[in-house]
Structure 1
Amino acid sequence: MKTIATLLLLIYCYTGVYSQEQSFIKIPAGSYEVGLKGSVENPRRRITIKAFSIAATELTNAEFERFILATGYQTEAERFKDALVFEPGLEEFRWLDDSTAYWRYPNGVARGGITGKMNHPVTGISFTDALVYCKWAGVRLPTLEEWEIAARAGSATKYFKGVTAESISRYANIWQGRDHLQADSTDGFMYTAPVARFQPNPWGLYDVFGNVFEFCSGSLPRDKGRRVAHARGGSWWCSKNACNFYNAVDIGSVNPHASFSNLGFRVVKDAEGL
């Protein structure tokens, strides 16, 4: 019986029917330091926030599939067929437009899908898709400041305590090659890694740096009134020589309807919803 039960569990995990409930980390209300001295876009400052709880991991393919099966929702990449994907050999900051790519095939059908990767973060979705998911699930995206407070875990530096640019690979799935002309699987993963595979920050959050950029709500002065989506934390594509945004200071920007194979999100619950 034990063997049969184990087999069934593996089948559920493999197909995405099984999905473990997310765990959340409570962030107390209070005054926190964000930003960094000398940063024009994100200067050092103290802000006061209300209590909230943030998911310990990025949203997975399994969790997103539950939403799709319940609603029949079609992502923007499915409808517009304009997702951007990556494969080794491209010059820096170059991406491929692949009409077959969407969350089930985040790097396009030819490069394989998410079968066997239901515990990886969902990608190939837009900021707009993420908002639709959040409305269905009764959660929301973190604000730019909430994300930073949770990622820093009490630190006043670009990283959380114990992390440096040299030790970041213990905590983050990033690109360790010199460039993107050759495939890099130094840490065992060329694209996304399963959530919680790397070490967490001191508050118990996994993959705040690397794996996938995480959508956040909020705006920046550079937006100048335009509707722009922002994402933080860097991704598996980021390296020290290109887009080294795997830190708690830098903020990325993207069209809210754009879908990339290195963009995902984690969710937040307000204190009154706990």
Structure 2
Amino acid sequence: MDLPVVVGVDGSEPSLRAVDWAADEAVLREAPLRLVYASLWERYEGTSLATDLNKPSEQVRAEDIVATAARRARHRQPEVRVSTAVLPEEPEYALVRESRTASLLVTGTRGRSGLAEALLGSVSLIVAGHAQCPMVVVRGNHDNQAPAGTHGRVVVGVGEKPAGSAAVRFAFEEAQRRGVPLEAVRAWRWPAHESTDHPLMAGEPARLHEQRAAVALAAALQDAPATVESHGRTTEGHTRTVLVDASRDAGLLVVGAKRRPGHYGLQLGRVAHGVLHHSTCPVVIVPERM
């Protein structure tokens, strides 16, 4: 059975941009598209029913939201297979549960002002920290159009253990699926405690850290498919800053997030948290099993 691409919708323009992006992705993957709206309307409305429909008015609104999203998805990709679900529960819990049986989970950002668009909604942030499948947050623009997934290279952040990295594998697959180049990026820093005042030794610590970054990069790229144009880049600086800079002309930014069995707190590192807030292209958070 094909696992669906699941997208969370709430009627906002950012969520409809996510629907556009998810419809494109579903077609690329030849997978069904599942549109999910979740809200605890019964908590606030009780048994108040909409006139002539015998349903809570918020449920009527929710059904209208998913129907509108389904029409938008079919208009963008007429061949996409669409299903919808209206769930009377907290959206964070609903989407995390949906991630257990999805190939990909997609959400948008929230907010209409420039400042709000730069920040991430609480639902997306919580879900990104717990999703069991790769999760995409579609970064917004101001023309209410989703960027086409097949434009721009795929950028992947290379972590400390690149061999067998789920994020790197995902990035290779996405670059191959889109027919675009892949850029693997490894940031490195020269720790302040390793500085030296000797003029002949000043460059040694920096070269050592750069060499370690190059080794990690080579390990990440060693299993690159022959059909994918791929290259690596080491850059001195904070990883979050380096990746956000790389996102400016990318089509997709991929980072890993560690998942610790039995740990119930927010499992989202500083790098993933930072790029989710400030990337200028869609971001994929890929669970890395410990």
Give the TM-score normalised by the residue count of structure 1: 0.26
Quick check: which has more Rg, 1 or 2? 2
Judging by fraction of residues, say which structure has more helix: 2
RCO higher in structure (CA 8 A, sep ≥6): 1
TM-score normalised per structure 2: 0.25
Bigger strand fraction: 2
